[in-house]
Amino acid sequence: MEKELVFGHQNPDTDAIGTAIAYSYLQNKLGYNTEAVALGEPNDETAYALKEFGFKAPRVIKTAANEVKAVMLVDHNEPQQSVPDRDQVKVTHVVDHHRIMNFTTSEPLYYRAEPVGCTSTIVWEMYQENGVEIPQNIAGLMLSAIISDTLLLKSPTTTDKDHAAVEALAKIAGVDYQKYGLKELKAGTNIADKSEEELIDLDAKSFSLNGSEVRIAQINVVDLPEAMERKKAFLTAMETAAKENNYALFMLLITNVLDSDSKALVVGSDSAKAKFEQAFGKNLVDAEASLPGVVSRKKQVVPPLTEAFE
């Protein structure tokens, strides 16, 4: 069988990388010939999870069509979040937990989406549906992905299925998920040794909202005031990135993973900033707004912004 690549979105997080590895393993067991790769290097949190369960970081690719004819996507479907030459390859499988947008195929495919907290939760179900045993180290990686996406089951995206998956996977992986989860999340919050330019690109996604290019980045921290000391430098870096990439709006969500509160920093055109204010019912004061309880880009940021831009 001809080889296919499996990968998550650009600026990969633990779901994008961990689920690509877990899904590739499952598909190979089912008779496909796949390799899990990534569209970028792992972030600190993902690196921690990979090391904890004995994995090396997947090979990073910049293009797909140079080596395969077909690919499988996990944790994304929107073209601007995928490999740049995705229109040159056939997408045969998608497993995802996001809205569907600008995703088009010329032929039928396998598409599995569920509105759950993490793609690994869906892949966990698929292992069971297909009667494939989950190896201990893969279970650890899938557990790490769910902990990451749901902020240890505290994000409003969390469902009963995510809870069930975490319980089951922790058992297979042989870890106490509360203890391990806090260690994993904290591993991703060390921002001291990174530049503002790096931080605003680490977990950033672009969305095309009614024709406007909107960039939404998120940083996890354990100390919000400490992060806000760098506000001016963040705004400068965001202004530059917005100009270079023609973003109508660049929003940085700085989230305290311990108490699930966020601050938003926002740059962009006056009309786009007005749409931000409309979306969240908050005035931007000095390019900043408090968003208490907002931790999920997908569930709490993209939908109100999409509506405001319509």
Site of interaction with a copy of itself (CB under 8 A): 97-115, 129, 298-299, 302-303, 306-307
The smaller minimum CB distance to a copy of itself, of residues 129 and 193, is found at: 129
* CA 309 and chain centroid, separation: 22
In the complex, least distance from residue 117 CB atom to a copy of itself, rounded to whole angstroms: 10
The smaller minimum CB distance to a copy of itself, of residues 104 and 283, is found at: 104
Closest CA to 115 of 306, 295, 299: 299
Residue 305 is given by DSSP the state H
The smaller minimum CB distance to a copy of itself, of residues 137 and 158, is found at: 158
The smaller minimum CB distance to a copy of itself, of residues 278 and 306, is found at: 306
The smaller minimum CB distance to a copy of itself, of residues 255 and 300, is found at: 300
In the complex, least distance from residue 108 CB atom to a copy of itself, rounded to whole angstroms: 4
The smaller minimum CB distance to a copy of itself, of residues 60 and 110, is found at: 110
Residue 295: other Cβ atoms inside 10 A: 24
In the complex, least distance from residue 101 CB atom to a copy of itself, rounded to whole angstroms: 5
Question: Is the sign of the CA dihedral 15, 59, 175, 124 positive or negative?
Answer: positive
Secondary structure string (H, E, C) spanning 171-240:
HHHCCCHHHHHHHHHHHCCCCCCCCHHHHHHHCEEEEEECCEEEEEEEEEECCHHHHHCCHHHHHHHHHH
Closest CA to 120 of 25, 193, 32, 16: 16
In the complex, least distance from residue 106 CB atom to a copy of itself, rounded to whole angstroms: 5
In the complex, least distance from residue 303 CB atom to a copy of itself, rounded to whole angstroms: 6
Residue 67: other Cβ atoms inside 10 A: 12
Side-chain half-sphere of 262: how many Cα atoms within 13 Å? 23
In the complex, least distance from residue 125 CB atom to a copy of itself, rounded to whole angstroms: 8
The smaller minimum CB distance to a copy of itself, of residues 37 and 209, is found at: 209
In the complex, least distance from residue 297 CB atom to a copy of itself, rounded to whole angstroms: 12
CB 287 within 8 A of CB 266: yes
Look up residue 156 and give its two tokens: 């409003």
Q: To the nearest 10°, the Cα dihedral for 137, 28, 119, 201?
A: 80
Q: Is 249 exposed, middle or buried (0-12, 13-18, 19+ CB in 10 A)?
A: buried
